[in-house]
Amino acid sequence: MNKIVKKEILNPTVTEIVIEAPLIARKAEPGQFVILRAEENGERIPLTIADYDREKGTIALIFQTVGATTMKLSKLGEGENVPDVVGPLGRATDTEGFRKVAVIGGGVGCAIAYPVAKKLATLGAEVHGIAGFRNESLVILREKFEKTCAVFKLMTDDGSVGEKGLVTDALGELINEGNRYDCVYVFGPLIMMKFVAELTRKYGIKTLVSMNPIMIDGTGMCGGCRLTVGGETKFACVDGPEFDGHLVDFDECLKRARSYKEQERKEYEKTCKLFTEEK
């Protein structure tokens, strides 16, 4: 059992919980994730470690309520327990040896981007951050990015806050201003990562993307998280979750991501109805 010591609603669909997990906190690094269950005998889902405190023995998880399990997790309160949490899993983000980088987050992907930006800044890199959201009501972690990044651009689709446009618009502007990045890190929706990778390919800039395909066991045994990178089959849970964005077959990943949409929708609706009836 892992106790929830803090819970915060970041926007209408995104929640942050801080849980006691001393063994995980002791080893965790940016880019790694955990697999948890919101209830006994429930579905196992992967969530990236958004932050960690080695002294307090806690880790922070930020998630969007998009399915049945994340809805159940969002209903847990401070003092309650997450039945089990396994990790840290995956390979830590490559952050060594870079002098100037751009870290890009889209939507809830900013929860993955922030700890990477924080670690890079700690190592002495000049970090330029870009965060993209549909509108102002969905913005998360803005203050943390502003404190961490030497340059920070906030983009919204409708221009309700920050600049109107896409993260690719912001990155293109920064590159055209003469910024030369050793690496660009991208975290967020597949389609966003695809277009950022296409942009950086033109400039020959190393680009790392964080992949989140369907995942079950998190140890490479089930094969559910397979993807094609440079013509080879890789497993996001053990070979990633970060890969060279110029080598990832995004079209294949986008197709696989839609495989269980109908089943996910039905389970989500069933769970919604359950919670409504309980009220």
Range of the domain at 110: 100-257
∠ CA(161), CA(93), CA(109), 5° rounding?
A: 30
Do 176 and 241 fall into the same domain?
Answer: yes
Tell how strand 14-20 and strand 2-11 pair up: antiparallel
Instruction: Per-residue pLDDT tens, the chain, 279 aa: give them.
Output: 899 999 999 998 999 999 999 999 999 999 999 999 888 888 888 999 999 999 999 999 999 988 888 899 999 999 999 988 999 999 999 999 999 999 999 999 999 999 999 999 999 999 999 999 999 999 999 999 999 999 999 999 999 999 999 999 999 999 999 999 999 999 999 999 999 999 999 999 999 999 988 787 777 788 888 999 999 999 998 999 999 999 999 999 988 877 656 655 665 455 555 555 555
**For residue 182, what is the domain's CATH number?**
3.40.50.80
Residues 61 and 145 in one domain: no
Tokens 């994340």 identify what position? Answer: 70
* H/E element, 145: helix 142-148
134 lies in the same domain as 58: no
Distance separating alpha carbons of residues 237 and 214, to the nearest angstrom? 10
- Identify whether residues 54 and 81 lie together within a single domain: yes
SS percent in the chain: helix, strand, coil, step 5: 35, 35, 35
Identify whether residues 81 and 118 lie together within a single domain.
no
241 and 132 belong to one structural domain: yes
Q: At which residue do the structure tokens 């992949």 appear?
A: 211
Domain presence at residue 276: no
Say if residue 178 is in the same domain as residue 211: yes
